[in-house]
Amino acid sequence: MSLELYNTMGRSMQKFTPRTPGKVGFYGCGPTVYNYAHIGNLRAFVFQDTLARSLRFLGYEVTHVMNVTDIGHLTGDNDDGEDKMVNQAREKGQSVLEVAEFYTKAFFDDIDRLNILRPTVMCKATDHVDQMIRLIQRIEANGHTYSAGGNLYFDISTFPGYGALANFNPDDLKAGTRVDIDENKRNPFDFVLWFTKSKFENQALVWDSPWGRGYPGWHIECSAMSMEYLGEQFDIHTGGIDHIQIHHTNEIAQSEGATGKKWVNYWLHNEFLVMDKGKMSKSSGEFLTLQYLIDKGFDPLDYRFFLLGGHYRSQLTFSWESMESARNSRRSLVQRLARITENAEAVPESLPANSPANEWIDRFRADIEQDLSTPRALSQLQGLIRDTDVPPAEALAAVARMDQVLGLDLIESAASLVASSKETGDIDDGRIDALIAERTDAKKAKNFSRADEIRNQLKESGIILEDTASGTTWRRSIGEK
């Protein structure tokens, strides 16, 4: 068996062959740091992480590059709307860089809480304007640009393959399918490489360039930074499906327009997380953050578990019921693992060749090799821990191996559940129930400080209280922070 990935370029499953045997270079479009990431954005980053982890699990050495967009991303992808960063800075009464710094930190907090491994390189657009300018000069030297109204545009008529990723031919669609308000464009699909004059007279950050003082279009940063860290040709590029039509289509035109060579071999796109009501977006102002899920009593890993339960190319609908069911499944998984942990002798570093656990790992690997099928891989994990022929220590070694891909902290959570059960062994259930009753009375009497005190006292003993519509229930902690 070998790894097969669904390539948006060509819309088919394709055997993965890296440019250099054993090594993979991959670039994933990162966050625009003008606000908190919403849980839909975080799906894109859990997906990138799953890809990086899977490739490493399969033995590849991975260079994972992710950008941080801190300039130039307009509210419309098609060079329209306002700059998202500048809008937010104005609203908050801060500078663009202050806004960027604040939300970049918030982004790192989120990805850490979701167990997303830090990419090999994280790069900020504002640190790479020189590289962007040099790349635009190459595009210009190859005859792909024109100046109009003070801005420099990419002329898509000079790039015959334009639209291949999105499977569309701009000539077929020219007749008014998209309304473009920029009258400088010769073709509505042309796009800005460098702005000097635009509707934003008050653009916060500007740089000198051969085309005048101004700032880059949004798409160029990804071409420039990916080439900076991965070379002019590399293996994999990812993003959400919303990027296929414009952002990635334009990235390809600029990159290949500059180098004259094929840029990326495999394009992977994650489907959207949608709300019951429809699309989740930052700009609409209606979105859920990871912190909001935590405030509602969920562990970040419940959300990760929920995402892994769907294939990255299937749309997922968020609901509180599905989050609860993910939480319950993750808890029972950890509880079962805790029982295995209690029965396990020393866990071997590697599995003996004749271990029955190997078969489960082989199946798990085969599922991952089929376009990263995490739902099927999770069912192999469930099968493994129910297989009574597998000795407990070997089961744990196999779970640890699978968790390299899943990133659910399974071994640590099970160990911490075992430890907290031991510590709390001497609190009997009657004592817990009495404290819960006292807390309920305290709440009724509006004595919230006593109620909180009881919750914290129990938490220190490894007992987590949960308030439900039918009263307060308790369970042992599975390692919540």
Q: Which residues bind ligand AMP (CB under 6 A)?
A: 29, 31-32, 40-41, 43-44, 239-240, 242-243, 270, 272-273, 280, 282
- 193 binds, options ligand AMP, Zn ion, none, Cβ within 5 to 8 A by partner type: none
* Chosen residue from 3, 29, 372, 465 binding Zn ion by CB under 5 A: 29
Phi, psi of 64 (to 5 degrees): -110, 120
Q: Please, what is the minimum distance in Å from the beta carbon of residue 40 to ligand AMP?
A: 2
Q: Which residues of 25-51 are buried (b: 16+ CB within 10 A; e: fewer)?
A: bbbbbbbbbbbbbbbbbbbbbbbbbbb
> In the chain, count of helices (H) and strands (E)?
16, 16
* Closer residue to ligand AMP in complex, CB, 159/266: 266
- 300 binds, options Zn ion, ligand AMP, none, Cβ within 5 to 8 A by partner type: none
When asked if residue 132 is in the footprint of Zn ion (CB under 5 A), the reply is no
- 270 binds, options ligand AMP, Zn ion, none, Cβ within 5 to 8 A by partner type: ligand AMP
Stretch that binds Zn ion, among 24-32, 277-285, 297-305, 322-330 (CB under 5 A): 24-32
When asked if residue 225 is in the footprint of Zn ion (CB under 5 A), the reply is no
**Quick one: 175 exposed, middle or buried, by C-beta within 10 A (0-12, 13-18, 19+)?**
exposed
Q: Please, what is the minimum distance in Å from the beta carbon of residue 106 to ligand AMP?
A: 12
Dihedral sign, Cα of residue 329, residue 330, residue 331, residue 336:
positive
3-state helix, strand, coil in the chain (%, to 5): 45, 15, 35
When asked if residue 334 is in the footprint of Zn ion (CB under 5 A), the reply is no
* Closer residue to ligand AMP in complex, CB, 243/439: 243
Measure the CA dihedral 184/124/267/51, to 10°. Answer: -160
For residue 197, the number of C-alpha atoms closer than 13 Å in the C-beta half-sphere is 6
- 113 binds, options Zn ion, ligand AMP, none, Cβ within 5 to 8 A by partner type: none
- 240 binds, options ligand AMP, Zn ion, none, Cβ within 5 to 8 A by partner type: ligand AMP
In which element (H, E) is residue 41 found? helix 39-57
When asked if residue 222 is in the footprint of Zn ion (CB under 5 A), the reply is yes
- 32 binds, options Zn ion, ligand AMP, none, Cβ within 5 to 8 A by partner type: ligand AMP
Residue with tokens 């930190």: 105
* Closer residue to Zn ion in complex, CB, 139/357: 139
Task: Please say whether the beta carbons of 25 and 231 come within 8 A.
Answer: yes
Q: Please, what is the minimum distance in Å from the beta carbon of residue 152 to ligand AMP?
A: 23
- 387 binds, options Zn ion, ligand AMP, none, Cβ within 5 to 8 A by partner type: none
CA–CA distances in Å: residue 374 to residues 54, 114, 282, 319, 360: 10, 16, 27, 20, 14
* Closer residue to Zn ion in complex, CB, 46/458: 46
**Which residues of this chain interact with Zn ion, rule CB under 5 A?**
29, 222
